[in-house]
Structure 1
């Protein structure tokens, strides 16, 4: 018993010594550090600009992972999120008054979702935050691109260049997404469907997840894969248990498509149907091949 206690005490001393050897610093001017004092409400700014460095045994490196509490929305940000939701509702009313037909939907990740994983960052991985509001969101360009790719894959037999060329010769596809000169219309045209940024509904839950590279030396081409190699964990941010409010619309009449594979379908109805199929079956963001980004539709009536 005494030997076990001695070992425990020695391990505690070693751990304390290691913790004491670690020094955390900020590469910011002194007056800026004193002014901020860790009191940053903008999560995007905190993640991408407020970088802490850890010094271990004389070697300095970026503190790549922080606790999950860093990504909790402050009361001010939650009020801001409520204001964004109210503004979006007003925007829909104003667009309808201006002659737009609008469709909305509420979706939530089935498990987890990661947006902007590959954005350059000193933390190795990142997440997309709105550059002003500092909250995670799904940009309209991403939604449009994913739906477009899903339709090419489903209706034009694949996602390669030939499939895209075939899609550009389809009237309905060009009506939805627009097209260049080398298309069915023989001229550049703007798409009739308008996609909007999707913002989350409070509460917003952001958590760290992990990719564990077990055979780093093997992937570097130095050794065969073996259990003797140490795993190299890579941490990245994900969103879970968070609802997103999606809006798409069309200005003017929701016309029927005259020819092509979508002949007889109304443009907005068709797009909205494929939009929902995309989120459910194709997913959004990174790592969809391993289950991230797939979404389920929520009851919109409870939200409205």
Structure 2
């Protein structure tokens, strides 16, 4: 069974586009039809193929250059160009017309890592690897804390007091991906083994190790 996803008045226009300047708009609005049942979906495959052919639009390149210059001009700011060792996806749990989400820049449609995600990653590393844990008593002032606790408070803050460090978004560097195509097709299968294998049913929960 198939449900048409685009109005007839724009279906032809979307299908005839040779290039797409905003991958996010295409991902949210470009699925021609939603097909159910076995055997896969040609409409979904076509959508993914077009997404993976998206390159950096010129406005994004100019915006990235302005952003770099602004960061470099900031006092006490530090930035670093980094390369992922493998494929990276952020926002799997986000809303979308497909089963999984994907974080793309709202204005330019390019992938990026939100500053909030970088802050969470940094806190996880500090606590799990470096052993810098949050103060057990959040009511204590900074001068009442141990040195590791002070570092944690300054970096990450509390629910009542923001940290002293601003974590900015990590933007895709134009031209850094092969062919300047930062999106690639992949298959992600996330299953809860104890739910599918015999014995008593164990429901998935937030603290399962994938």
TM-score by length of 1: 0.50
Q: 1:213 to 1:128 in 2, by over 3 A?
A: closer
Q: 1:60 to 1:192 in 2, by over 3 A?
A: closer
In the TM superposition, structure 1's runs of 4+ consecutive aligned residues that sit over 6 Å from their partners are: 59-62, 213-216
Q: Which residue of 2 aligns with 1:178?
A: 157
Q: Which residue of 2 aligns with 1:73?
A: 54
Task: Map 1:285-296; keep pairs closer than 5 Å.
Answer: none
Q: Which residue of 1 aligns with 2:162?
A: 190
Q: 1:102 to 1:167 in 2, by over 3 A?
A: farther
SS of equivalent residue, structure 2 residue 172: strand
Q: Which residue of 1 aligns with 2:82?
A: 107
Task: Map 1:42-57; keep pairs closer than 5 Å.
Answer: 42-53=22-33
Task: Map 1:142-161; keep pairs closer than 5 Å.
Answer: 142-156=117-131
Instruction: Check conservation: 1:156, 1:164, Cα contact below 8 A.
Output: no
Gaps of 5+ in 2: 139-144, 200-208
SS of equivalent residue, structure 1 residue 104: coil
Q: 1:87 aligns with which of 41, 46, 66?
A: 66
2-side partners of 1:60 and 1:176: how far apart?
A: 47
Per-residue CA shift, 1:22-66, capped at 9, x if unaligned?
x98742222232443453421111112212326589x99794444
Per-residue CA shift, 1:66-119, capped at 9, x if unaligned?
453432234xx4322321221112212442xxxx21111111111211111222
2-side partners of 1:149 and 1:213: how far apart?
A: 22
Q: 1:136 to 1:56 in 2, by over 3 A?
A: closer
1-side partners of 2:150 and 2:129: how far apart?
A: 16
Aligned-residue RMSD, C-alpha: 3.6
Relative to total residues, which structure has the larger strand share, 1 or 2? 1
The number of residue pairs the alignment matches comes to 182
